[in-house]
Amino acid sequence: MSVAYLSALGGEPVWARTTDGLRLRLPMRRWLGYADAVHPADEVLIGRCDGPTIDIGCGPGRLVAELVTRGIRAVGIDTDATAVAVSRWRGAPALHRDVFDPMPASGRWRYALLADGNIGIGGDPVRLLRRTRELLAPQGIAIVEFASPGTGLRTHRIRLETGGWTGSWFAWAQVGADEAATLAAHAGMRVVSTATADGRHIGWLARASGGRE
C-alpha cells in the first residue's frame, strides 16, 4: 500500500477494486488527517479512550496522533512502512508489524481500535477479533467500525489502484453493523454499545464471560 499512500500524499485519488469489478474511491484525505478539526465520527471512535490504546491498522496515524495530544498513551501498528513513517513524522508512535506478531503490553491494553473497516484485515474477522481480545486487558474494550447494516459478512479479495499503478490482490472482509453481535459471540466477546456518526457505524465490544475460545 506504500505506493497508494505516496500517491495520496501527492493528491492523487486511490481506489479499491474487488474481484467482481466493484470500484470504490478510498477516503485517503480523511485517513491522512487533512482537516482543521477531528472528524465527528473519529471523535466518537476515540472519545471514550481514557487509557492505553492500540490502533490496529493505524495507517498514517491520525487517531494515534490525536490521542497523544490528549495525553493518552497510544501506539499504532501497521504493515505498511510508508504509513508507519508518516505516523512517526506526525508524532504518533507506530510499529511496523502485523497484528499477529508479538506486541508490546499484550494483554494489558485498555482499548483496541479497529477503525476504518479494519475488522476486515486478513479476510477473517473472527480470527482478528480473537487476536484483538488477546491484546486487551481483562476489562478492555475493542472499538470496531463496521459496514452499513445489510452488508452481511463478506469475504473477498481486493486490490488498490491509482491512475498509474495497480497493487496485488489481498484478502479483505466486510462486516455489517447488524452482524456485530454474532461476530462478537464467535470471538468470545459481546457488544456493549453502538453508535452511528456521519454514516459510520461503531461498536464497543468487551470480553464475554464464558465466551468461546
Query: Residue ranges per domain, the chain?
Result: 2-207
> What is the CATH number that goes with domain 2-207?
3.40.50.150
pLDDT at 213 over 50: no
Report the pLDDT value the prediction gives residue 36, as an integer from 0 to 100: 66
Please give the full DSSP string across the chain, using - where no structure is assigned.
-HHHHHHHHTT---EEEETTS-EEE--HHHHTT-SSS--HHHHHHHTT--S-EEEET-TT-HHHHHHHHTT--EEEEES-HHHHHHHHHTT--EEES-TTS--TTTT-EEEEEE-TTGGGGGG-HHHHHHHHHHHEEEEEEEEEEEB-TT--EEEEEEEEE-SS-B---EEEEEEBGGGHHHHHHHTTEEEEEEEEETTEEEEEEEEPTT---
At 142-158, the pLDDT tens digits run 999 999 999 999 999 99
Judged by DSSP in three states, 18 sits in: strand
pLDDT at 8 over 50: yes
At 99-124, the pLDDT tens digits run 999 999 999 999 999 999 999 999 99
Please give the full DSSP string across 40-91, using - where no structure is assigned.
HHHHHHHTT--S-EEEET-TT-HHHHHHHHTT--EEEEES-HHHHHHHHHTT
At 14-59, the pLDDT tens digits run 999 999 888 999 988 888 887 666 889 999 999 999 999 999 999 9
Q: Which residue has the cell 508518516?
A: 86
> Hey, what's the cell of 117?
473497516
> Hey, what's the cell of 184?
462478537
Report the pLDDT value the prediction gives residue 35, as an integer from 0 to 100: 67
The burial class, CB within 10 Å (0-12 / 13-18 / 19+), for 180 is buried
Report the pLDDT value the prediction gives residue 211, as an integer from 0 to 100: 44
- What integer is the mean pLDDT of 188-197? 97
Q: Which residue has the cell 491509482?
A: 162
pLDDT at 179 over 60: yes
Q: What is the mean pLDDT of the chain?
A: 93
